[in-house]
């Protein structure tokens, strides 16, 4: 990759061309070599480019002022990144390969269970809808929002005793409906 040097004097209207490796600071001249290494290890050109970019980013952000061999430093970073990439890939594969494969017979049972659960849920929803408004609100705050009796009393501006009475009435009504229809 070539860049024109904007500060260079112009000779006969032409800009001086500087090679990327020549213009790059500390070690950037190893780009092709690093890229080839990463591509040979990963087999993926795009991944190799990403890993080399990450290598340079880490090198720039490190304290490399006293390094004697920038090339070796860059290759060490890149090698570590390649190793990390394959570790992550292996962990992901292990996670998915150990996942349970669903059993077709179990799916049939699960489908039946799901149908029964949906029917019971519908009956419960109807029972909740039949409750008086304050009783329904109290029940929903307790069972679905998981608020404590004190929190419900504060929110509804009623006593804790009233909360307990509403909850008892709601539970009795829902239990009765579930027995009748379920």
The reported pLDDT for the residue numbered 162 is 93
Q: Report d(CA 29, CA 23) in Å as an integer.
A: 8
Burial class (CB in 10 A: 0-12, 13-18, 19+), 156: middle
Cα-based angle 136, 140, 146 (whole degrees, multiple of 5): 150
* R_g of the chain computed on alpha carbons: 34
The reported pLDDT for the residue numbered 1 is 32
Helix%, strand%, coil% for the chain, nearest 5: 75, 5, 25
What are the phi and psi torsion angles at 117 (to 5°)? -65, -40
The reported pLDDT for the residue numbered 143 is 86
The reported pLDDT for the residue numbered 70 is 87
Q: Report d(CA 149, CA 18) in Å as an integer.
A: 76
Q: Report d(CA 144, CA 12) in Å as an integer.
A: 80
Closest C-alpha among 70, 85, 68, 66 to residue 34: 70
Model pLDDT for residues 105-144, shown as the tens digit of each residue:
556 667 888 888 888 888 888 888 999 999 999 998 888 8
The helix/strand/coil state of 10 is coil
Tell me the residue ranges of DSSP E strands in 24-172.
none
Give pLDDT < 50 ranges for the chain. Answer: 1-25, 99, 101
Cα-based angle 182, 102, 87 (whole degrees, multiple of 5): 135
The reported pLDDT for the residue numbered 11 is 41
The reported pLDDT for the residue numbered 89 is 79
Cα-based angle 94, 95, 98 (whole degrees, multiple of 5): 75
Tell me the residue ranges of DSSP E strands in 16-155.
17-19
Q: What is the pTM of this model?
A: 0.42
Closest C-alpha among 134, 170, 131 to residue 152: 134
């Amino acid at each position: 990759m070539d860049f024109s040097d904007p500060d260079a004097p112009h000779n006969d209207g032409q800009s001086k061309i500087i090679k990327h490796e020549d213009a790059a600071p500390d070690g950037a001249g190893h780009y092709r070599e690093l890229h080839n290494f990463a591509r040979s290890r990963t087999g993926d050109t795009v991944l190799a480019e990403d890993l080399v970019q990450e290598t340079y980013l880490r090198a720039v952000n490190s304290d490399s002022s006293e390094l004697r061999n920038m090339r070796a430093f860059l290759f060490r970073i890149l090698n570590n990144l390649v190793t990390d990439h394959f570790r992550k890939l292996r962990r992901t594969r292990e996670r998915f390969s150990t996942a349970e494969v669903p059993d077709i017979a179990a799916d049939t049972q699960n489908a039946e269970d799901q149908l029964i659960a949906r029917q019971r849920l519908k009956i419960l929803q109807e029972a909740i809808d039949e409750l008086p408004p304050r009783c329904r609100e109290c029940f929903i705050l307790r069972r679905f929002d998981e608020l404590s009796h004190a929190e419900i009393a504060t929110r509804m501006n009623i006593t804790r005793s009233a909360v307990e009475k509403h909850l008892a009435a709601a539970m009795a009504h829902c239990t009765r409906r579930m027995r009748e229809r379920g």
